């Protein structure tokens, strides 16, 4: 990393917070900590972190609500959620609210760091190489983290924007869920490939389609593609 990444840990267990801080500082991250959701929400706006580690079960304001509020910020800072539960409901809900990844307690601090680094690679790779993409009534600009639909800004969490950009860049090419997970989440991702379905559904809800010019299409039994009609 050429510039220190500021991490905000919102976790009410001091042991977990202190342990994460120790490992993160050793890796060169700058760390701030909050011990309840309300304080974490305030620190998010006061300190403008580059990354948030967010527990679900928090006093005063739970992690779901904090995540929801953070996702209203145009900066779309990456969020890694911590949960003591392993149920798929918690995982899917976190992704639907815009979290980039989740880790179930107990965990190894090194796993947190590995997942953080993977998220950071995915949410800000190739910034100087990637270009804006233009389609009928839509512009995707990942450098500015901006999506314009009919000249109006549409806010997408970083993972959704990455996924849409990847599919649009490789227009008319079909990708399986596993290929998309490997490309966007990384080969070390151990979560469920159905994550893709959740994100595709949310993207469609926000951008719709512009057929006969373009649409985000499901290829039944295979995966997805961003279909563009080059003959219109």
96 shares its domain with 180: no
> Average pLDDT for residues 45-60, to the nearest whole number?
90
71: CB partners within 8 A, 6+ apart: 79, 97, 98, 155, 157
Confidence at residue 1, expressed as pLDDT on a 0 to 100 scale: 38
115 shares its domain with 198: no
114 shares its domain with 170: no
Confidence at residue 30, expressed as pLDDT on a 0 to 100 scale: 92
If pLDDT is split at 50, 70 and 90, which confidence band does 103 have? Answer: confident
Domain carrying residue 158: 133-228
Residue-by-residue DSSP string for 128-175 = TT---EEETTEEEETTTTEEEETTEE----HHHHHHHHHHHHTTT--E
Full-model pTM:
0.56
Q: Long-range contacts of range 217-221, CB-CB < 8 Å, 24 or more positions apart? A: 219/174
> Average pLDDT for residues 189-209, to the nearest whole number?
87
If pLDDT is split at 50, 70 and 90, which confidence band does 125 have? Answer: very low
Confidence at residue 48, expressed as pLDDT on a 0 to 100 scale: 87
Which region among 2-6, 101-105, 176-180 has the lowest average model confidence (pLDDT)? 2-6
202 shares its domain with 117: no
Confidence at residue 128, expressed as pLDDT on a 0 to 100 scale: 39
């Amino acid at each position: 990393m050429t510039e220190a990444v500021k991490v905000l840990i919102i976790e009410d267990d001091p042991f977990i917070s202190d342990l994460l801080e120790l490992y993160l500082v050793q890796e060169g991250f700058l760390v701030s900590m909050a011990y309840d959701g309300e304080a974490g929400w305030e620190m998010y706006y006061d300190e403008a972190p580059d990354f948030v580690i967010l527990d679900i079960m928090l006093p005063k304001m739970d992690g779901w609500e904090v995540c929801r509020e953070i996702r209203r910020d145009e900066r779309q800072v990456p969020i890694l959620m911590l949960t003591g539960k392993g149920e798929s409901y918690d995982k899917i809900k976190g992704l639907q609210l815009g979290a980039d990844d989740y880790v179930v307690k107990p965990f190894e601090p090194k796993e947190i760091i590995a997942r953080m680094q993977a998220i950071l690679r995915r949410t800000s790779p190739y910034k100087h190489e990637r270009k804006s993409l233009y389609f009928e009534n839509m512009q995707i600009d990942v450098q500015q983290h901006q999506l314009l639909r009919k000249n109006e800004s549409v806010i997408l969490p970083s993972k959704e924007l990455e996924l849409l950009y990847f599919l649009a860049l490789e227009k008319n090419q079909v990708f399986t869920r596993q290929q998309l997970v490997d490309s966007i989440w990384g080969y070390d991702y151990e979560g469920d490939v159905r994550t893709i379905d959740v994100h595709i559904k949310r993207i469609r809800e926000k951008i719709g389609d512009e057929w006969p010019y373009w649409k985000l299409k499901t290829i039944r039994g295979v995966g997805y593609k961003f279909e563009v009609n080059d003959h219109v």
